[in-house]
Each structure stands twice: as C-alpha cells, then as structure tokens.
A and B are shown apart, each in its own frame.
Chain A
C-alpha cells in the first residue's frame, strides 16, 4: 500500500495459503486474501485482510425464491409534478418485472400513511397499477411511519427464504415522527434481524442523505442518490436487478485472528470486535457480485523467513437456491521478509485496491464531517491528499477505479462552497455508500 522501499535481499515468497473447503456448484465463493501476503520482517506493522464473498450465478431465473417487496413512496408536497410522475412510472416498471408468485405492496405517505396496495401476490397487475396511479402529491413527510408500514406489509408474508425488502423513495426531510439518522438507523438494524432490508432512493437535493444512507446501511439495503427524477427508472431497474438476483442471505462472517495479530477495525462495515474475534454480517449477496469486508490488523514483529497465521475465517449463510444454511471456512497466513522489494512485488492487487478504496472512503467521510463543522479549508486539504493518495495507488496498481475515485475526490474538494454543498454532500454520501457496500450501481 505504501511505497515500499527497495531492498535487494530476497526471500522465499510464499503466497497466501488459501484453503477453500468443499466448494460445490451453487456455492458462494469465499476469497480470503491479504493486501500484503509478504510482510516486512522484524517490524510491528499494520496490514489489511480482505474477506471477499461472491454470489454464485443463479441457475434459473424462474426458480428463484419469490420476492416480497414493499414500495414506499414519498408523496409530500415537494414531490408534486414531474417527480411523482416519474416515481409512479418507476413503480409501474417494478410491477412489470415481478412474477406472479412475488408479493408486492404499495405504500404512499405524506403526513399520514396510505396503504394503496396491501401486501398481495402480483397476480392481478392491473389492480396494482391502478393503486400506483392513484398516488398524488401533497402534505408533510412521515418517513418513519412510511417505513414502519412498509415493513409491516412485508412482514405479512415474511419468510426468511424470501427476498424481503422495503424500497423507500423520498425527496424530503422527515418531519413527522422520529426523524434522526440514528433512529432510522436503529430501525434498519432491527429490521435486518428479521431479514428485511431497506433500500433508500433519495431524490433531488432536499432529502437527508445521512438518514437515508444510515437506514440502508444498517439494514444492508442499497442507497441511491437520484439527482433528477429521470434517474429513477434506471435506479429502480438496478435495484430490482439486485433484489431478484439475491443468492444468499444472513451471511455471518467470523474472523479469528492468529496469535500476534490484533484486529483494529473493519473499514466501512459494522462489526463486533472482541479480543481476537471479529464478527460481521452481510444480509444479502447478489448473483455474480462480490461483497467484501476489509479488516485492519496490527501484526507483531516477526522474524525473517517465518510464516505467521494471520486469520481463520468462517462464513455461514442461507443459500437461496438450495434453501439450506451453508458454511465456508478459510485461513490465511503471511510470510515475512526483510526485502521491501519482495514485499512490494507480492502485493495482492485485488485486495489492495479494495483496501485503498475503503481507506479513502473513511478519509472522504472525515472530510464531510469537517465540512459539516464549517472547516472548509481542512476538508479541502483532506480531500486533496486523499485524491493524491488514490492517484498514486491507481498508478502503482494500475487500477482505473481508483483513478476514478481520485477524480471524484478532487471534484469534491472543488465543490465545498455553500451553493454546491447540498448537491455535493449527497453525491459524496452516495459514493461512500457505494464503496462501503460494494453496490453495483451508483
């Protein structure tokens, strides 16, 4: 990750020892790797473990488990006109994509909540469409109640083996009922324990991106920033691409760090660290898409030529195709060398790109915090150095996605003024979420 110094001395390079147990067809792929499979000897240092999980390809689209989706639409006064029209269109498109065994409910809220279509099988699409077309805008924003009702509709047909999801569209600040990101986040964290995820779509520049992001993050849903109502169709499409391709749920990742390895933090995801043990959960894995978590660890100084077991990882998840609970396990160890060149040569590109992305995202979040406090100068500094950091790594690792994020950070640094901030903040939060959750579409 950091430019490694050159050292002529070479040692036997042993790549990460990855043992994958009983990988059959229709199994999630567990990829456990270190950013630096070879570490510098005789030095206490920080390094990163990547736990990557890739959903298998759904064998048959028609045999997938039925989806159970609540579409919760903001119809407050600010949604009037084009926004509500586009939201209706997007919802209609969703109904078209669902098959008749799926379950859908349509909820619209202003200061009150109307259940336009209670949870029902998508057998009579015309009636559901009629319900959607009845949505008119006007009133305040009872976002919490909207989500509560949406979750209640999903709960009517709640099965752990379904894709249970609330899709929330809002363009405004919640102003009726609980309205803090913390409370919505807590609600999300509670819902995910029932296997209900909430995907949030923020429309325009008026919504509270922190609230929307935290709700989605804690419930392991997706979060999108739709600057214009024209984006809605695309985002709903992407979201349903995800929903309909869920291959695993209730993914629980347990990492046991080896002796002399201290877990510091998990970047971008919520996890419990207790001593040597780290537990994190990911609610959904989608077909052919990788989700990962990056664990920062502190490795004790180790003698040249030695191999140290870094971590053992076990994963359990609900397989949506076989309807069974499957387990995966793997372990990873590192070799130690005195040659910095050797260390640099053995860098795992894939893991490093992921780690760099997560580190940069944490920095980007810090910049938002600074800007929120009004510290524009400091925020700009953080963003510019972040951009430089990404740029350097992009070159070293030959990673265009890091190059892109570097450009985004530069752009962020240039848009910290008052006029651009509302838009820019949403854009930044969106990108952060996209990075942290490895979302498919931004």
Chain B
C-alpha cells in the first residue's frame, strides 16, 4: 500500500513537471530564437551606424578629393605643386577626353622619379585601358557637379567621379577620379594610409575621459567612458586594422555579428565580439532560465503538496489500522465469554424436557443469538487477520455435504423463525480434504445474508457439487436481488447495497468480502451468478479428493 502511494505521488509530481518542462523549453527556444534575432538585428544596426560614420568620412574625403582634382590647368608644374599640398594625394594624373594619358607623360624627358614610379606602379591600369567611364566598385553619395552624357540617347548619365580599387602588396589601393566638364579625367592616387588613419581617427577610442566642458579636465570627472564589448575593423585577410572596446576575445573566437564596410573599403569587415555573459545581458534574462525557475517552483510546490497528502493518508491508514486492531482485540475478549454462553445455552437446551416448551423456545433464542454473535466475531477476527495477511487454512479430511448440512442445521431455527423454506440438494458425498471451518464460515455468511436481506423471498436453496478436486456450494434465494451495477461492489468490505433495503439486522458489511477472501485462499472463489429472481452465490473450492478405500 505504502510504496504504491509513493509511486502515485512521484508520478503526480513528475508528469506535470515533465509536461511543463517540455512545453516550457519549446516555448523558450522559440522565444530565444526570436530574441536572438532581434538582438542580432540591433547589433547589426549598431555596426550599421558605425559603417554610416565611415561612409560620411569617405564622403568627406571624396569632397576633399573632388576639390583637389578640380584643376584648371594641366601643366606639370602646377600639378606637382598641387600634389605637395594635397594630403590625400600621392600622385595626380590627367587623361585626355579620348582616354589617352596627358600627365604624367612617359615620354617627357623631365619626368620626376615619383611620376615614373607612379606609371610603373599603375601599369596595369593603362594597359587595361581603364577609361573611368563607369562608376568604380562603389558609389559615393555625393552631388554630381558635372555629369557627362553617354553618346546614345537614353544612356545612363555616367557619374562625374568615382573610386577605382585594386589590390597590391599592401592591400587595397585607391584611385579617385573626376571627369571634368571639359571631358578630361583628373585622377588621384590616394594615400591609402591617410584615409585609413582618417577612418581610425573617426572611430571611437577604447577609453576617453569624459569632458567637464570648457576644454579643461576636472578632477571629479576622471571617469572614463569605455565600450564594454569589442568592435573590430579588419581587412580582407581578417587581420585587425583597428579595434576598440574592453572585451578581449580569445584566439579563434568568432564575432557575434559582422557586416562589410562601405566602399571603397568593401573588402573590410566590421565585427562585434562579446562575452557570453554580455550576450545574456543583451538577450535579456534568458527565457530558458525563466522556464527553469518556474519549473523549480512548480516542482517544489508539487513536492510539498505530495508530502502533505502522503502524510495525511499515512495518518489515515495508521488510524484505520489502530481501529481494526482495537476491534480485533475487543472481539478476542468477547469470544471467550460468548463461547461459554453458547456452550451452556446448548447444554441447557438439551437438558430441557419437551414439556417445558416455553422455556425451551426461549433457550433456543439464546442459542441462536449467541451463534450469530460468534459468527460476527469470527468474521471480524478473520477480517483482521486478513488485514495482517495472517489467514491460514487448517485442512482435514471430511465430507462437504456433512459440513454443509451441519452448518444448515445451526441456521434452521433462525431461518425457521423468519418462515424461510429450506431446500437442500447435497451432491458432494465423497470425502475430500478441505477446511471445514472455512466452509462453515462461508456458507454461514451466505445464509446469514439470506436471513438478513432475502427473508422476504421465504425460500432458500442450497446445492453442493463435486468434480475432480473441485467442490462447490450454491445458495439461491428469492429476495430483492442485487442491482446490476452493484454486483461487483458487494464483495468490497464495508459495502452495503442500499439503505432502502430494510435490513432486519444491521450487517457489518464484511461478510461477502470475507467469504470471497477465504474461498480464494482455498483456491477457489465466490461468484454472483445472475439468476431470474433473487440472488445466487456460488462458492467454489479446491479440495483434493481422498481415494476411497475399496
């Protein structure tokens, strides 16, 4: 009983917990995926802002270069002087409207080393016949000052400026070009390092003291502003160009999010690295964590509830056991005096003469009632023993018919008093081995039930049978019967069919239960056989037959 209860309680806790866990985790996973997506989107937006600041810087540089390349005269001297002033320009070049190189002219005997070096460095540009008609790899969002139309009608307006990028030992090389209204293209070999330095300068430092304003530092404001994660601007090969932020990613750590940088640095990347704890903070309190917390709470609640119920039921059981034990003890105490009362009453009955009729009837009543009381006590004790698994059989050789007859005889006065006609058809005359007390108790209980509940039928019939090692006794009555739905329950202890059946004597409700229990102990059963009228109980027992002495 107890382990079963425990299992039930565990299941009571485990099943809802399991279902909740499964559902919760699934929900959390969905939720997490959603939150992660939003979080990544927000990081991407942040990188996008940085990218936009780089784009603004590129646009500024482009403006600067637009001004620098907007030259009026293409003579060598003024272009050289211009180069000395233009911080972003390593070398200028000028193309004729037809695309041929005007400056620097390779055939010019007064070419400087720098110009010759430029022509060598950019040889591929000239041999490929780059015309700078088309926008370079990427467009810069600037106003076009002097758009040049293509030849045919409906042709797209070629931009008047652009970037041209190519790769050389030190990475991406930049050329900025502008097509002037005269049709000349003025180009600038851009000092990549200067632009990279500008980009770096435009990005935040890792730590900047907060300003007190007014251009001076104040002692109370030595607090520094620092980016908690790590942002990295890296080149084509993934080598960092510039990075900022406090977090130190480990070797081989992958960025949480990265985006390509705007043109003309499209081969670069902007990435953000983050510690897992920051990720958690960024993702908000993890949904998984929430679910787990809820599960733990539910688990604790269920466990407490389980423990409470377990204790309650354990107490109930203990109390019931105590009650049974009490009744058992009382019954034991009652049995001895009752046995004496029966014995002397029976002796008195035998000793009385027929003449003394009135006294004799009274004595018979005493005998009958004391027998009933004995059965009652017998039942209680059997039940109590059954509860303690203490029922034992005491089998001995005997004849079933004789046993049933003797039991029936003890009931004759009782049944007779109720005007019940008794029929008996004995069919088990062969000796066999069985527990006579058990048979007596079972049959007694069944007859007692007839007397109590089916006296209105005024009729009872007993049949015995014997086949192989099985014997049976059937008891029929013509009482009110038992409703179909209750047929199974009548065997349960303390069950009473209904209060509407007016019982002459109140029963304990354990008679049939004990009868069945005893019969089962004896290798058989007590069954309720459906019949047209009244009730029929059939008792089957295993009773090995004794070979008759020939």
Question: A residues within 8 Å of B by Cβ?
Answer: 107, 111-118, 120-121, 123-124, 126-128, 130-131, 142, 144-145, 147-149, 151-152, 155, 176-178, 180, 182-184, 186-187, 189-191, 193-194, 252, 272-275, 277, 279, 281
B118 to chain A, nearest CB (A): 12
Judging by beta carbons under 8 Å apart, are B206 and A113 in contact? yes
For residue B114, CB closer than 8 A to chain A, the reply is yes
17 contacts between A and B (CB under 8 A): A112-B205, A112-B206, A113-B205, A116-B207, A118-B209, A126-B219, A127-B217, A142-B242, A144-B200, A148-B196, A152-B200, A177-B242, A178-B170, A178-B193, A194-B87, A272-B112, A273-B113
Judging by beta carbons under 8 Å apart, are B112 and A177 in contact? no
Judging by beta carbons under 8 Å apart, are A128 and B200 in contact? no
Chain A residue at minimal CB-CB distance from B241? A177
For residue B496, CB closer than 8 A to chain A, the reply is no
Q: Which of A128, A176, A187 touches B193 (beta carbons < 8 Å)? A: A187
Judging by beta carbons under 8 Å apart, are A190 and B87 in contact? yes
Interface segment, one of B78-86, B296-304, B335-343: B78-86
For A191, the chain B residues whose CB sits under 8 A away are: 87, 194
Judging by beta carbons under 8 Å apart, are B205 and A131 in contact? no
For A273, the chain B residues whose CB sits under 8 A away are: 112-113
How would residues 165 to 181 of chain B score, 1 for a CB under 8 Å from any chain A CB and 0 otherwise?
00000110000000000
The CA-CA distance from A130 to B171 in the complex, in Å, is 40
For residue B63, CB closer than 8 A to chain A, the reply is no
The CA-CA distance from A279 to B207 in the complex, in Å, is 43
> Is the contact region of chain A dominated by helix, strand, or loop, or is it mixed?
mixed
For A189, the chain B residues whose CB sits under 8 A away are: 90, 191
The CA-CA distance from A121 to B215 in the complex, in Å, is 7
For B85, the chain A residues whose CB sits under 8 A away are: 193
For B242, the chain A residues whose CB sits under 8 A away are: 113, 142, 145, 148, 176-177
For A113, the chain B residues whose CB sits under 8 A away are: 200, 205-206, 242, 244
Known: A131-B209, A144-B197. A193 touches B240 (CB 8 A): no
For residue B513, CB closer than 8 A to chain A, the reply is no
Judging by beta carbons under 8 Å apart, are A152 and B201 in contact? yes
Question: B residues within 8 Å of A by Cβ?
Answer: 76-77, 80, 84-88, 90, 109-114, 170-171, 191-194, 196-198, 200-202, 205-209, 211, 215-219, 222, 224, 240-245
The CA-CA distance from A176 to B241 in the complex, in Å, is 6
B422 to chain A, nearest CB (A): 111
Known: A114-B207, A272-B112. A120 touches B216 (CB 8 A): yes
Q: Which of A117, A152, A183, A272 touches B114 (beta carbons < 8 Å)? A: A272
Judging by beta carbons under 8 Å apart, are B111 and A178 in contact? no
Judging by beta carbons under 8 Å apart, are B201 and A127 in contact? no
The CA-CA distance from A177 to B222 in the complex, in Å, is 29
For B112, the chain A residues whose CB sits under 8 A away are: 272-274
The CA-CA distance from A38 to B111 in the complex, in Å, is 31
9 closest A-B pairs by CB: A152-B201, A275-B110, A190-B194, A148-B197, A127-B217, A112-B206, A148-B200, A187-B193, A114-B207
For A128, the chain B residues whose CB sits under 8 A away are: 217
The CA-CA distance from A146 to B218 in the complex, in Å, is 25
Known: A177-B240, A187-B193. A148 touches B201 (CB 8 A): yes
The CA-CA distance from A107 to B201 in the complex, in Å, is 12
Other CB < 8 Å A-B pairs besides A176-B240, A177-B242, 15 of them? A113-B206, A117-B209, A121-B216, A142-B243, A145-B242, A148-B201, A151-B197, A151-B201, A177-B240, A177-B241, A178-B171, A186-B90, A190-B88, A252-B84, A272-B113
Judging by beta carbons under 8 Å apart, are A115 and B84 in contact? no
Q: Which of B114, B193, B244 touches A190 (beta carbons < 8 Å)? A: B193
For B222, the chain A residues whose CB sits under 8 A away are: 127, 130
B83 to chain A, nearest CB (A): 9
Judging by beta carbons under 8 Å apart, are B201 and A149 in contact? yes
For B218, the chain A residues whose CB sits under 8 A away are: 124, 127
Chain B residue at minimal CB-CB distance from A124? B216
For B244, the chain A residues whose CB sits under 8 A away are: 112-113
B549 to chain A, nearest CB (A): 112
The CA-CA distance from A123 to B224 in the complex, in Å, is 20
Judging by beta carbons under 8 Å apart, are A112 and B211 in contact? no
Judging by beta carbons under 8 Å apart, are B170 and A182 in contact? yes
A220 to chain B, nearest CB (A): 13
For B170, the chain A residues whose CB sits under 8 A away are: 178, 180, 182-183
For B243, the chain A residues whose CB sits under 8 A away are: 111-112, 142, 176
The CA-CA distance from A126 to B114 in the complex, in Å, is 48
The CA-CA distance from A193 to B211 in the complex, in Å, is 30
Chain B residue at minimal CB-CB distance from A130? B222
Known: A118-B209, A145-B200. A186 touches B219 (CB 8 A): no
A363 to chain B, nearest CB (A): 20
Judging by beta carbons under 8 Å apart, are B196 and A144 in contact? yes
Chain A residue at minimal CB-CB distance from B113? A273
Q: Which of A111, A117, A176 touches B217 (beta carbons < 8 Å)? A: A117
A344 to chain B, nearest CB (A): 33
Q: Which of B86, B200, B222 has the most CB of A within 10 A?
A: B200
The CA-CA distance from A281 to B81 in the complex, in Å, is 11
The CA-CA distance from A274 to B205 in the complex, in Å, is 43
A167 to chain B, nearest CB (A): 16
For A118, the chain B residues whose CB sits under 8 A away are: 208-209, 211
The CA-CA distance from A148 to B200 in the complex, in Å, is 6
The CA-CA distance from A262 to B85 in the complex, in Å, is 27
Judging by beta carbons under 8 Å apart, are B245 and A112 in contact? yes
For B114, the chain A residues whose CB sits under 8 A away are: 272
The CA-CA distance from A183 to B90 in the complex, in Å, is 12
B55 to chain A, nearest CB (A): 18
A414 to chain B, nearest CB (A): 35
Q: Which of A120, A190, A193 has the most CB of B within 10 A?
A: A190
Q: Which of B111, B206, B211, B241 touches A274 (beta carbons < 8 Å)? A: B111
For A126, the chain B residues whose CB sits under 8 A away are: 219
For B219, the chain A residues whose CB sits under 8 A away are: 126-127, 130
Known: A176-B243, A190-B87. A127 touches B216 (CB 8 A): yes
The CA-CA distance from A180 to B219 in the complex, in Å, is 40
Judging by beta carbons under 8 Å apart, are B209 and A116 in contact? yes
The CA-CA distance from A194 to B110 in the complex, in Å, is 28
The CA-CA distance from A144 to B196 in the complex, in Å, is 9
For B201, the chain A residues whose CB sits under 8 A away are: 148-149, 151-152, 155
For B90, the chain A residues whose CB sits under 8 A away are: 186, 189
For A279, the chain B residues whose CB sits under 8 A away are: 80, 84
Known: A144-B200, A145-B200, A176-B240. A183 touches B208 (CB 8 A): no
The CA-CA distance from A142 to B242 in the complex, in Å, is 8
Judging by beta carbons under 8 Å apart, are B205 and A281 in contact? no
Chain B residue at minimal CB-CB distance from A252? B84
For B192, the chain A residues whose CB sits under 8 A away are: 183, 186
The CA-CA distance from A176 to B77 in the complex, in Å, is 39
Q: Which of A142, A177, A186 touches B191 (beta carbons < 8 Å)? A: A186
Judging by beta carbons under 8 Å apart, are A114 and B88 in contact? no
The CA-CA distance from A275 to B245 in the complex, in Å, is 53
The CA-CA distance from A172 to B367 in the complex, in Å, is 121
B29 to chain A, nearest CB (A): 36
A271 to chain B, nearest CB (A): 9
Judging by beta carbons under 8 Å apart, are A114 and B205 in contact? yes
B193 to chain A, nearest CB (A): 4
A219 to chain B, nearest CB (A): 11
